[in-house]
Amino acid sequence: MTISSAVVKSSGLLRALTAKGILDNLQIEQLTSEEIQGRSVADWIVNNGIVSAELLASSVAQHFGYPLLDLSQFDDSRSGLEAELIQAEKGLEAFVLGRRQGTLSVAMADPTDLSTIQQLKFRTQLQVEPVVVEYDKLLHRLEKSDPAHGMEEGLLTDVESETGAGGAEEQSPDVDDAPIVRFVQRVLSEALKKGASDIHFEPYEKSYRVRFRIDGLLQETSQPPLAAKAKIAARIKIMSRLNTTETRTPQDGRIRLTLGADERKIDFRVSTLPTLFGEKIVMRLLDSSKSLLKLEQLGFEAEQRAAVEKALAKPHGMILVTGPTGSGKTVSLYTFLQMLNHESINISTVEDPAEINLPGINQVNINERIGLTFAKALRALLRQDPDVIMVGEIRDLETADISIKASQTGHKVLSTLHTNDAVSSIIRLKNMGVETFNIASSVSLIIAQRLVRKLCSCKAPHPQGIQALARTGLINQVPQEDWTPFCAVGCEACNGTGYAGRTGIYEVMPVSEAMQELIISGGSALDMERLARQEGVASMSESGLAKIRLGTTSIEEILSATKTD
């Protein structure tokens, strides 16, 4: 295993040592090319003599403001701690010092090791408060402690003993196994608590891991025993009413559970996929209470919000929302539907599948196995006296043709496309075979969007100030205004990432009369892009720059989302 440049950039420990001048760029570059054979960054640094354990501890404690403890002077009896809290540290470079109310005090050489902190939180269901100690003393104390079993192993230990050396797949999965039931329930509850959007259960040849997608990024949360993979899969299949005996083909299902202290009803969309070493399962959390936002919460600028409201106020026409998978298109559409939802309006949707349950709206799931396609469902809806129709996605000419004709005959139509920007949506419809005059007369507004992470309150002014924008391509020249972009720092509240939550950046393009004429005349994408800018339509990069100026997000997030050269 090697430390990649991505790992180096994400290591708070290395950033701290570099900021204090203890490491230089040359050492960082050397570090990226050295093999560490599975060791932690702290282990590699200390045992290669780059930094002493004592200097490492004092520097990290001073930089991050954590308390510094001489672990050799700590009473090692820990007689007052529950056995499970001591066991929770197994396999981790962490030593549990004590517990106070809902917080676990833990000795660590690297308090920026988010994987270890997340594992401890998951195993104990407690908040973790790091205390910095010297690395060599930490290893010595862990060797003396030598707990028998970790919580994850203890939770599923009987699964391993039942399957034995033959492996789980030779056994019939006992879906009523109490440890499996508790484990799956704990994973789902933890995902809800952390605000995850997806849960990944991933089997490999020699390991099995669970990851959460939080604010768009995957984070490993636990590693259950490999022998438990078949039983975990079977338990999830039972919950989502899938065929537990079919492991060779993908399956899709749904679960509705009541979770959390507030007993919210949460839907999970379940997808199974046969891989080389077992079934990978991905569960998407569909929390309607969090998905239904107000327009101002989505992140539109004032002019963009006014353009959206104007388009929604029209009695007919098509509004398209475009962007890649995971860019928040569905949430935007349902926010618009919520604004239109009134007892005097008949709203119907056709989706694959419906992800958000909104009372007062007639939702239809397509089912291609029985012939219920987007086009067929749309034809049926048009006989149901609709006022507003939402089409989950325009995938083909037939669906596009029916949607456009509906918007031309007095209906308001909302839908999505997978394109990179607003102008590309027009080109995509033309490539599908839609006539240019139909596009020009039906499409009233196109919204291209991306999601970016919001900076946590621990953010700090960028050390290079506004000059940091000069090399990014987001601006042509350094502005004269006196403002400073912010950058991510990292604290306990954001698990050291420096970010908490997400917001949208948008390109909102009304189809003006001039744009209609250009579309009908066969203008190129470049011509349409030029006209949109002349009409004052802000690009996503410009929308992102506004978010940077407000201190909402960082330069790196906008560059990542817009791919600006």
For 29, residues 6+ apart whose C-beta sits below 8 A from its C-beta are none
pLDDT digits (tens, 9 = 90+) for 408-455: 988 999 999 989 899 999 999 999 999 999 999 999 999 999 999 999
Task: Provide the pLDDT for residue 454.
Answer: 92
Task: Provide the pLDDT for residue 448.
Answer: 95
Asked if the model's pLDDT at residue 152 lies above 60, the reply is no
Any idea how long the chain is?
A: 565
Q: How far is residue 327's CA from residue 492's CA, in Å, rounded to a whole number?
A: 27
Task: Provide the pLDDT for residue 32.
Answer: 53
Average pLDDT over residues 227-238: 91
Asked if the model's pLDDT at residue 550 lies above 80, the reply is yes
Average pLDDT over residues 115-144: 85
Task: Provide the pLDDT for residue 11.
Answer: 66
Q: How far is residue 451's CA from residue 324's CA, in Å, rounded to a whole number?
A: 10
pLDDT digits (tens, 9 = 90+) for 74-97: 766 676 677 778 877 877 888 988
Task: Provide the pLDDT for residue 213.
Answer: 92
Task: Provide the pLDDT for residue 3.
Answer: 40
Cβ distance 527 to 282 under 8 Å?
Answer: no
Task: Provide the pLDDT for residue 150.
Answer: 35
pLDDT digits (tens, 9 = 90+) for 167-186: 434 344 444 557 788 888 88
Least confident of 172-176, 358-362, 461-465, 552-556: 172-176
Helical H runs in 360-396?
A: 374-382
Calculate the average pLDDT of the chain. Answer: 82
More confident residue, 113 or 309: 309
Task: Provide the pLDDT for residue 103.
Answer: 87
Task: Provide the pLDDT for residue 311.
Answer: 94
Least confident of 11-20, 61-70, 531-540: 11-20
Cβ distance 273 to 279 under 8 Å?
Answer: yes
Burial tier of 462 (Cβ tally within 10 Å: 0-12, 13-18, 19+): middle
Task: Provide the pLDDT for residue 27.
Answer: 61
Q: Which helix (H) or strand (E) holds 419?
A: none
- How far CA 338 is from CA of 259, 331, 479, in Å, comes to 25, 10, 39
Asked if the model's pLDDT at residue 120 lies above 60, the reply is yes
pLDDT band at 480 (very low <50, low <70, confident <90, very high): low
Task: Provide the pLDDT for residue 447.
Answer: 96
Task: Provide the pLDDT for residue 387.
Answer: 93
Least confident of 67-76, 80-89, 540-549: 80-89
pLDDT digits (tens, 9 = 90+) for 271-327: 999 999 999 999 998 876 666 678 888 989 999 999 999 999 998 999 999 998 888
Asked if the model's pLDDT at residue 113 lies above 50, the reply is yes
Cβ distance 544 to 561 under 8 Å?
Answer: yes
Query: In three state form, how does the secondary structure of 27-61 look?
Result: HHHHHHHCECCCCCHHHHHHHCCCCCHHHHHHHHH
More confident residue, 546 or 30: 546
Average pLDDT over residues 348-363: 85
Would the CA dihedral through 306, 308, 310, 313 be positive or negative? negative
Task: Provide the pLDDT for residue 438.
Answer: 93
- How far CA 125 is from CA of 103, 104, 193, 207, 409, in Å, comes to 9, 10, 10, 23, 56
Average pLDDT over residues 476-492: 76
